[in-house]
Amino acid sequence: MTFQNLEYKRPDQDTVLKHIAELKTQLESAADEAAFLAALKAVNELHRDIESMASLCYIRHSIDTTDSFYKTEMDHLDEILPSIMEANQKLQITLLQSPHRPYLEAVLGKTALERLELSTRTISAAVLDDLVSENKLVSEYSRLLASASLEFDGKQLNLQQMGPYLEASSRDTRRAAVDTMFGFYHEHDTVLDDIYDRLVKIRHKIARTLGFENFVALGYARMGRTDYDSDMVATYRKQVLQTIVPLACSLRQKQQARLGLSRLFYYDEPLSDPKGNPKPLGDADELMNKASVMFAELSPGTDAFFTFMKQAGAMDLIAKPGKETGGYCTFLPNWQMPFIFANFNGTKDDVEVFTHEGGHAYQAYVTRDDEWLSHHEPGMETAEIHSMSMEFLTWPWMDLFFGKDADRFRYNHLADALMFIPYGVAVDHYQHLVYENPAATPEERRQFWLDVESTYLPWRDYDENTYLKGGNVWKRQTHIFSAPFYYIDYTLAQVLAFWFWQAARNDAAKAWQQYDRLCRDGGKLGFRLLLEAHNLPNVFEAGSLDHFIPAVSAYLESVDPLTL
């Protein structure tokens, strides 16, 4: 069984809706637990089918956005998914109100039921048309970005292919690359403002119709956050401001000194030192072979996992025209297959495809035999612990990829990870301002961004780029358009990955076992419950970061990357 051979079958709206109605009746009339379980399994089966087809379509569309077949199928799915979700919501309510509910909880666990409850609040018949419009706006944004064909360095490049130039050793190249790339955003700024404005307004309208005060709580519910809220996230952001922002400022100052610059501009930030950022050695095939060695040596489980991924052809890694930007990992339940999508560009990001997306895929692989979908789909903040911790747990193998530059890579990796957190928190804070003030104009939103930027990224200096100085850099952040409130999850997970980094330095074998257990728990528990069950720090508690962040900064203080 290979990815190429997987058969896509268009989910037919009427058939699916009819099936859901039958299953609802079956659940309602289940006389005993056995009958209830049989109906529940059929519901799970249906969800696996729909998710498999939607993911397969999404993957094939993102690999080639010019393929008209999958483009039409994407449009079809955009059209029908909301009404399926709405019918599904009735099914969920039936489950929650069933006399067999205690049995349901025994089968699926408490978190799964809490997620069901949250999920039922995120949709109703009254918002169906608006959900269709929302999906279309997100697709419009993705297509606009995928359409970018930039003339640079004598070539026509997409946004992703600009990556290497943004971290080039030559300052003129970096500046030109930033100007060219944001030139595209600037050129389409009216459209971008308009898409986002319509997205914010439609999301607010959906939230109000569903009985929420604004989109914030709905956004959290959509993310399936069963055990934390925006107040806890605000406490966490405050910790970041107090503990991490000063460290990030100091790292930027050192970077500026290493680069010998009188001002550190935005386009200088990606370059850590004058030697240039470490690049992986070898082409895609060689990197693949190195990744095989790494996973074979890391553990028997990762060896089996990566062998499976290669044999199944479950990876599409090379950048090409018409391909969507970015990278992701997704899961195809019917074939129990994780899939990794990436755009190799010759930078260290290529290695992170194996380590970061590899972490997601490993979790999907080790939980693939659990038939219940809810058990192998963790919340995003949990999923990113799997990916970001894998990035650190694979540190011992970085010599394979970077040779004599391995230690410089390690320093940059850790420093970048720490400096990322203030940015991630800024993106989150910005979205709170946006959705708490849904009537704000695009102009006011620019000011919101400038405010959070000066709070969390006080070193930021855009030189003479008036577009970026005007509060527009966030338009490059796809999550702000397509996945509201997702972004904080990366930062929550990053600080927990630091915890694993420290654990691995103390005892690598023990840290791996703990990581492996965490992956195998998949999506069974809500975030805070999971942290508790695995003896990980509760990052929402004031002062919690002070227990392990200092170890990270001590390491960074002890190393001078110029001597590596």
Q: What is the contact surface with Zn ion in residues (CB under 5 A)?
A: 387
Cα dist from 426 to 345, 379, 383, 436, whole Å: 27, 21, 21, 15
Cα Rg, the chain, nearest whole Å: 23
CA dihedral (297, 302, 304, 305) positive or negative: negative
Question: Least distance from C-beta 424 to Zn ion, angstroms?
Answer: 12
Question: Least distance from C-beta 493 to Zn ion, angstroms?
Answer: 8
Phi/psi class of residue 485: alpha, beta or left (left: φ > 0; alpha: ψ in -120 to 50)?
left
Question: Least distance from C-beta 383 to Zn ion, angstroms?
Answer: 7
Q: What is the DSSP letter of 326?
A: S
Question: Least distance from C-beta 461 to Zn ion, angstroms?
Answer: 29
Strand partners, 150: 157
265 vs 487, beta carbon nearer Zn ion: 487
Question: Least distance from C-beta 326 to Zn ion, angstroms?
Answer: 10
Q: Which helix (H) or strand (E) holds 152?
A: strand 150-152
192 vs 427, beta carbon nearer Zn ion: 427
Cα–Cα distance, 213 to 208 (Å, whole number) = 6
Cα–Cα distance, 84 to 50 (Å, whole number) = 10
113 vs 385, beta carbon nearer Zn ion: 385
What does the CA dihedral 303, 309, 310, 313 come to, rounded to 10 degrees?
180
387 vs 491, beta carbon nearer Zn ion: 387
Cα dist from 361 to 224, 390, 395, 515, 560, whole Å: 20, 11, 18, 14, 34
302 vs 387, beta carbon nearer Zn ion: 387
Question: Least distance from C-beta 218 to Zn ion, angstroms?
Answer: 23
226 vs 387, beta carbon nearer Zn ion: 387
Question: Least distance from C-beta 99 to Zn ion, angstroms?
Answer: 40
104 vs 353, beta carbon nearer Zn ion: 353
Dig out the tokens for 84 from the structure.
């399926």
Q: What is the DSSP string of 17-36?
A: HHHHHHHHHHHHH--SHHHH
135 vs 387, beta carbon nearer Zn ion: 387
Q: Which residue, judged by CB position, is nearest to Zn ion in the bound state?
A: 387
Question: Least distance from C-beta 522 to Zn ion, angstroms?
Answer: 15
Question: Least distance from C-beta 490 to Zn ion, angstroms?
Answer: 7
Cα–Cα distance, 15 to 133 (Å, whole number) = 23
Q: What is the DSSP string of 343-411?
A: EE-SSTHHHHIIIIIHHHHHHHHHTTT---HHHH---HHHHHHHHHHHHHHTGGGHHHHHGGGHHHHHH
469 vs 476, beta carbon nearer Zn ion: 476
88 vs 387, beta carbon nearer Zn ion: 387
331-336 long-range CB contacts below 8 Å, 24 or more apart? 331/55, 331/364, 331/368, 331/376, 331/377, 332/6, 332/52, 332/55, 332/56, 333/48, 333/51, 333/52, 333/373, 334/48, 334/49, 334/52, 335/1, 335/6, 335/52, 336/368, 336/369
382 vs 387, beta carbon nearer Zn ion: 387
Total number of residues shown for the chain? 564
Question: Least distance from C-beta 532 to Zn ion, angstroms?
Answer: 23
Question: Least distance from C-beta 75 to Zn ion, angstroms?
Answer: 27
